[in-house]
Structure 1
Amino acid sequence: MYSDSADPAAPAPGTRERVLERVLSHGPVSAAEIGGALGLTAAAVRRHLDALEEEGFVEVKVVSAARGAGRPSRRYVVAPQAQRRLGGDHLGIALQAVDRLVEVGGEGEVRRLAADALQPVEEAFQAAVAGREMGLEERTRVLADLLDDAGYAASIRHVGAGLAPTLRAEQLCQGHCPLQGLPARHPEFCEEETALFARLLGVDVRRLSTLAAGGHVCTTHIPLGRA
């Protein structure tokens, strides 16, 4: 994905790739959080982040402290222009093919194409949960793992801890989209994906942000209290 420089001070070959992957799957994320997950000091992580920022792979997102207390924190996200570089996707060819499909068969063909593209995820999920009694949280973890394996850099964030059970939720985050650029021109891809998540989890879900709309990550809100 990204090659470490020959700098002898680099902790180990491939460390920079691991830092970038952490930003991809967990951004916005701080240097300290990355260091804690990878067993590195925050200073060592910052050196890699600075290099990645210079190369255009990541960018800084300044987050204000809660209730104005303390200094704003620097968090890192993958730069929008870097998404295609990370995936190595042939966007131009794909867009031409989909546009041609619309000319021949109409917009309905795009929705069918989107459903077909998601079918491997659906089949893998059904196979993983078949014959098992699983709650919503466990089903969400299964879905996140399958998406991560499929290249979506997926992770889960818990929200509403300490609140009433009806207010607790999980957010399914996708830091990368293997369909790079297609959903931006054809929102049917995002719509079909959201509908698939709701169908697999058996609960209404809500899309909070998407890469296609300019977000740093695709975020799907999954209300646990409605299970």
Structure 2
Amino acid sequence: MKNAAALSEQLPVTGPVAGGGSSRRARPAEPEPAVSTDLSTRDRVTQLLLERGATTAAQLGALLGLSSAAIRRHLDAMLADGDVVAREQTVRGSRGRGRPAKVFTLTEAARVRCGTHHYDNIATAALRWIARTGGAHAVESFAAEQVSALEERCRAAMEDAGDEPLARAEALAGALTAEGYAANASTIASGGQLCQHHCPVAHVAAEFPQLCEAETAVISRLVGTHVQRLATIAHGDGVCTTHIPAQPRAQSGNTVTTVRTDR
């Protein structure tokens, strides 16, 4: 009873209850449930990393309108959960003072949770069966057949792109993005570069590179020139990168200078 009395003295009381003169103890106020935007923001970070590949915290913050502290809080949580990995940004040429910025990419587990690899197990099993019964050539034929429909759709979307390879690469990037590949094209010193930040068949292609080879052949036919695959998501890279070499320019006297791209 003493303890109860002591507790009663410590608790605050309210004013008179309506309809009576007695007072009652006030219950401790329960905190209002916080309306958090963490989940939606994290989803947006995941989507940006899926579309853009390796990206710095500063770039993500600028795209999302978040402060450096806020974006790092999300990235730290995603690092702890195994959804992203961080590495130092590759800097070409002379580098200023300080350490290079870190770039963040999605882990394979995070890609899977994005729903990017539906039916991988059955697709892989089917290709294994094709390889056992028909050999490597049958797998190559299957891969070529699989990308033929994609090629036709992209060719139709590129109808007004003209003949210049880099212009066609830009049009192809738009067509591939519409197909779910999150692609973009850019001009570099040695020509052009087509990047695909998402691969719907990455898990399967890791075991059967014929899928990547068939897709590379499609890219070459669509841009109208030889291309070289430099990196693929299927082989553990953050992005599928295809190099489009600069076209030889006619010189005086109608001579042509060619550039070797096969070494």
Q: How does 1:71-86 map to 2 (within 5 A)?
A: 71-86=99-114
Please name the residue that 2:207 is paired with.
185
Q: Does structure 2 conserve the Cα–Cα contact (< 8 Å) formed by 1:203 and 1:226?
A: no
* In structure 2, C-alpha distance between the alignment counterparts of 1:58 and 1:138, rounded to whole Å: 33
How many residues of Structure 1 are paired with residues of Structure 2 in the alignment? 214
**Greater RCO structure (CA 8 Å; 6+ sep):** 1
Q: Which runs of 5+ in 2 are unaligned?
A: 1-32, 250-263
Q: How does 1:122-133 map to 2 (within 5 A)?
A: 122-130=151-159, 133=162
Please name the residue that 2:243 is paired with.
221
Q: Which amino acid aligns with 1:139?
A: R
2:131 matches 1:102: yes
Q: Which amino acid aligns with 2:221?
A: R
Which secondary structure does the structure 1 equivalent of 2:235 belong to? coil
* In structure 1, C-alpha distance between the alignment counterparts of 2:177 and 2:78, rounded to whole Å: 22
TM-score (norm 2): 0.72
Q: Does structure 1 conserve the Cα–Cα contact (< 8 Å) formed by 2:220 and 2:226?
A: yes
Of 17, 39, 50, the match for 2:65: 39
Q: Which amino acid aligns with 1:27?
A: G
Please name the residue that 2:9 is paired with.
none
Larger Rg: 2
TM-score (norm 1): 0.82
Q: 1:117 to 1:59 in 2, by over 3 A?
A: same
Q: After the TM superposition, which parts of structure 1 deviate over 4 Å for at least 4 consecutive aligned residues? A: none
* In structure 2, C-alpha distance between the alignment counterparts of 1:90 and 1:52, rounded to whole Å: 26
Q: 1:196 to 1:119 in 2, by over 3 A?
A: same
Please name the residue that 2:43 is paired with.
17
How far has the Cα of 1:115 moved from its partner? 1.6
For residues 60-118 of structure 1, give each alpha carbon's deviation from its aligned partner in whole angstroms, at most 9, with x where no partner exists: 01125553432221111111343333214232221111111112222122112212221
Please name the residue that 2:226 is paired with.
204
* In structure 2, C-alpha distance between the alignment counterparts of 1:132 and 1:30, rounded to whole Å: 32
How far has the Cα of 1:134 moved from its partner? 4.9
Looking at secondary structure, tell me which structure has more helix per residue.
Answer: 1
